[in-house]
Amino acid sequence: MRVIALVAVCVFFAGCSSNKVDDFKSNQNAKVYSFDSIGKLSGAPLAVDPIKGELSESDSLVVIDGQKTAFDIYSFKSAPGAHMLTMKTYCDCLGFNKDLLLPEVRVVDASGKIIETSLMSKRRVQPLLGAFYFEFTWVFDTVTADTVKIVIGSNNQNLGDVATTVSGTGAVGVPSASATYYTSFTIDGLKVRSAPYGKYEVFAE
């Protein structure tokens, strides 16, 4: 009985510790879009009510700054002025591999032009129950009333490589908007890797 229980535990953790980086690199079947072409795709409406999403191996890919990423696309009805885009990405901390999606976002107007976004804040949140998450907030401006497209992807620069390892309890491993994302970091003794896939929540206002 103990042997069966031990085998079950091993199978459980093995299943929960799949290597998302290897899965991403070996995925040869996904459809790949150029960034210029995805503005024609329809997107789920985004507003102040958070939407739960997930980038996964079954998603199509888009090329952003020369890097392939799985992506989701949303539409947002914007009035003239400043807007905020907030995204929470959750640590997949069950199993031997600890993974976290570090986002790459683009806002595109109706003409296909990329609207500049500025990373206003980033913080790590540790709930009383469950795994921690990172919360990112970007700001962007629209000149006229417009329905813009918001593209959610992952930062896959140097994916799978260990760029550096840092320790601490704050929002570590998340640099400024202009810096290179870390691909490995430790939080409270857990070594966490940036992953090409992961769960998130997003809303805009």
Instruction: Write the pLDDT tens digit of every residue in 1-58.
Output: 554 444 344 433 444 445 777 777 667 678 888 888 887 888 899 998 999 999 988 8
38 CB-contact burial (10 Å; exposed 0-12 / middle 13-18 / buried 19+):
buried
**CB contact set of 50 (below 8 Å; sequence gap of 6+):** 88, 201, 202, 203
Q: Taking the C-alpha atoms of 151, 176, 56 and 189 in order, what is their torsion angle to the nearest 10 degrees?
A: -160
Say which amino acid occupies 64: I
Instruction: Write the pLDDT tens digit of every residue in 161-176.
Output: 443 333 333 344 443 3
Candidates 189, 196, 187, 51; CA nearest to 124 is: 187
For residues 198 and 129, the model is more confident at 198
Instruction: Write the pLDDT tens digit of every residue in 118-143.
Output: 988 888 787 777 777 888 999 999 98
Q: How far apart are CA 67 and CA 61, in angstroms?
A: 10
pTM: 0.78
